[in-house]
Amino acid sequence: MIPPRAVLAAVSFSEPSRVALVLASRLARHCEAHLHVLYVEDPLLDAAARHVGIDLARDTARELRRFVADSWPAVLCSPQLHVVAGEAVDVILEVAHRQGADVIVVDGGRISGAERFFFGSRTEDLLRSADVSLLVAPAEWRPSQSDVGDLSDLGPVIALVDMSEQPSAAATKAANELASVLGTSVEVMHIVPGEETSTALTKRLAEDTVGAAERAPMLVLGKHVRSSRRGRSAAFVNRVLATATVPILWYVAEQIAQL
């Protein structure tokens, strides 16, 4: 739901995941939501450590506390920390359900190629299977105002919709609610498969990001739940996810998630 009551940040101690934690903590503070921070331990490594009598979870928890302390304003949220061994996507969703998280915040998980960026497998798997809304923080994102501890410097909220797909209606509603919470404007862009729409969006985002000294945009898209179904706009959405340098909310409506 928007605004969220609980936010889960899944981190990996990488710099991109620090960006995700900063975004998650700002969202939690802005919405007065509970913040949970999760590190997923590799199950094989955890088993090997246990075999030789090493408490890997204790050491990881200590490192996680340092990571949170160095990722302002996360420490201001007094987050609940979780270290759990298992398959990353399964653990993230399990903890999100157990803690009642309305939003899971992850980094884009990108690795650079010659001229393109591709999503890492964990983020891809979450995008495909999550029944909880995902907020993707690209590694390039930085708060417009580093000394602001919330998201008052974020906006406008741009809803990308395909009127032929039901999740777009929920995404538009979520975008309006989010814009109201952030105190910013909302825009709706109709997705028409093709390079023209992608080019128009890229230009629009560039204008917002460069032209506004105090605010940067955020995108909202609707998500099908646990489905491999891909709509007519799939190629366009993939381009957005692969190239955007602004936060993207992949929204799952409550009524949809319960189906």
Q: What is the mean pLDDT of the chain?
A: 82
Judged on CB neighbours under 10 Å (0-12, 13-18, 19+), 239 is middle
> Which H or E element spans position 98?
helix 88-98
Q: What is the pLDDT of residue 118?
A: 40
The label of the residue with tokens 């910013």 reads 184
Provide CATH 3.40.50.620 ranges for the chain. Answer: 6-137
98 burial level (CB within 10 Å; 0-12, 13-18, 19+)? exposed
Q: What pLDDT digit, counting tens, does each position of 131-146 carry? A: 999 999 998 898 888 8
What pLDDT is stored for residue 259 in this prediction? Answer: 45
d(CA 98, CA 91): 10
| CATH tag for 6-137 (out of 3.40.50.2300, 3.40.50.620, 3.30.70.360, 3.40.50.1110) | 3.40.50.620
Instruction: Give CA–CA dist 191/159, Å, rounded.
Output: 10
State residue 111's pLDDT score. Answer: 39
| Contact (CB, 8 A) for 130 and 252 | yes
Question: What is the C-alpha separation between 215 and 152, in angstroms, rounded?
Answer: 8
What Cα–Cα distance (Å) separates residue 29 from each residue in 26, 74, 152, 155, 237? 5, 9, 11, 16, 29
pLDDT at 204: 65
Buried b vs exposed e over 203-225: b needs ≥16 C-beta within 10 Å? eebeebbeeeeebbbbbbbbbeb
The CATH class of the 154-257 domain is alpha beta
The model carries a pTM of: 0.86
What are the tokens at 209?
């990001």
d(CA 209, CA 244) in angstroms, rounded, equals 11
Longest dimension (CA), the chain: 59
Tokens 């909202």 correspond to 220
Residuewise pLDDT in 10s, the chain (259 residues): 889 999 999 999 999 999 999 999 999 999 999 999 999 999 888 888 887 888 888 999 999 999 999 999 999 999 999 999 999 999 999 999 999 999 999 998 643 433 333 444 577 778 778 899 999 999 889 888 888 899 998 889 999 887 667 778 888 999 999 999 999 999 988 876 655 555 666 666 666 555 455 678 999 988 766 544 454 455 666 677 777 889 999 998 764 444 4
